[in-house]
Structure 1
Amino acid sequence: MQLDEADRRILRHYLAEPGLDRTDLAERAGVTAATLWRRLERLRAGGVIKAEAAVIDWRALGYTVEVSLRFTLDKTNPRAFDEFIAAAREVPEVVTIETFLGRVDVRLTVIARDMGQYQEIYRRRILTLPHIAELEALMLIATIKDEEGLPI
């Protein structure tokens, strides 16, 4: 889908302040409310805007530990990926599951309230996941850049 400058302005303001009401968004983007509505509908229909979602700050809820776990799976079992991912989905503290091509097969992001809780999750829920050949843990120290949008 081709975007013109008005679409880009709408998307920039929409990403910067998703809670704006449509009248303010139209004003900031320099279009009428009717134009904004038509363009948002076209962007949704074209798959550019997939959904509107709440972004939850886990730290504000008391989750102070975030760990990225990188797994290499035992690929001798043809169901290894499916069984591993199905089991990982059942761990409530797993907030992200990503698959890769290369040395790392799967990456999970796990959150915990503190190191004690993380240790418990790791021992009881992570190490019991099926088909793990290798596991590497990376503890998040700081997030330097976390952009939701594109440079449009």
Structure 2
Amino acid sequence: MLDDTDRRILRHYQHAPAAALSDLAELAGVTANTCARRLERMEAQGVILGNRAVIDWRALGYEVEVSLRAQLDKTQPRAFDEFTAAAREVPEVIEIQTFLGRVDLRLYVIARDMVHYQHIYRSAILPLPHITDIEALMHMARIKADEALPL
């Protein structure tokens, strides 16, 4: 279990994971050694999964984002596995989610422009196996995109 000190460290760490250990420790009100030990323990326990670079794909020329909701042929026992394996191979599919309910999966797709998206859709998405229905939702605005947890 996490105590208040762990939560305080995580609260600051999630907002500045590249901060110097001494700065993080000072913000959390602990010594650098305590901070390092606790971060190591939380990593070993799987509380901290790692650090990653967050890249603005718009800065790389991708202007279109589309959420595709798909239904699969559930009479095929390997439909989910075969579909997700194939969808993972499409570089512009940056997220795949599965659901229970009317929608089976959601693919999050990025493209440079609408012409590029149309090419991806026709050449890489439509040929994916076991699709029985697909609906595109064009992204208009991101209102909130915060990965920080309320600690």
Q: Report the Cα offset of residue 37 of structure 1.
A: 0.5
1:19 corresponding residue in structure 2: 18
Determine helix, strand or coil for the equivalent of 1:48: coil
Task: Determine whether 1:86 maps to 2:79.
Answer: no
TM-score normalized by the length of structure 1: 0.95
Task: Determine whether 1:108 maps to 2:107.
Answer: yes
Cα deviation digits, residues 46-79 of structure 1 (max 9, x gap) = 1110111111111111111111111000112111
Runs of 4+ in 1 over 2 A off after TM superposition: none
Within 5 Å, which residues of 2 pair with 1:1-152?
A: 2-152=1-151
For 1:115 and 1:8, locate their aligned partners in 2 and report how far apart those are by CA, in whole Å. Answer: 44
Determine helix, strand or coil for the equivalent of 2:109: strand
For 2:71 and 2:147, locate their aligned partners in 1 and report how far apart those are by CA, in whole Å. Answer: 28
Q: Report the Cα offset of residue 13 of structure 1.
A: 0.8
Q: Report the Cα offset of residue 115 of structure 1.
A: 0.8
Determine helix, strand or coil for the equivalent of 1:133: strand
* Long gaps (5+) in structure 1: none
State the AA in 2 paired with 1:81. F
For 1:68 and 1:114, locate their aligned partners in 2 and report how far apart those are by CA, in whole Å. Answer: 15
Q: Report the Cα offset of residue 149 of structure 1.
A: 2.1
Determine helix, strand or coil for the equivalent of 1:16: coil
For 1:146 and 1:3, locate their aligned partners in 2 and report how far apart those are by CA, in whole Å. Answer: 25
For 2:139 and 2:18, locate their aligned partners in 1 and report how far apart those are by CA, in whole Å. Answer: 29
State the AA in 2 paired with 1:71. A
RMSD: 0.9
State the AA in 2 paired with 1:113. R
TM-score normalized by the length of structure 2: 0.96
Q: Report the Cα offset of residue 41 of structure 1.
A: 1.0
Determine helix, strand or coil for the equivalent of 2:19: coil
State the AA in 1 paired with 2:134. L
Q: Report the Cα offset of residue 151 of structure 1.
A: 0.7
State the AA in 1 paired with 2:63. T
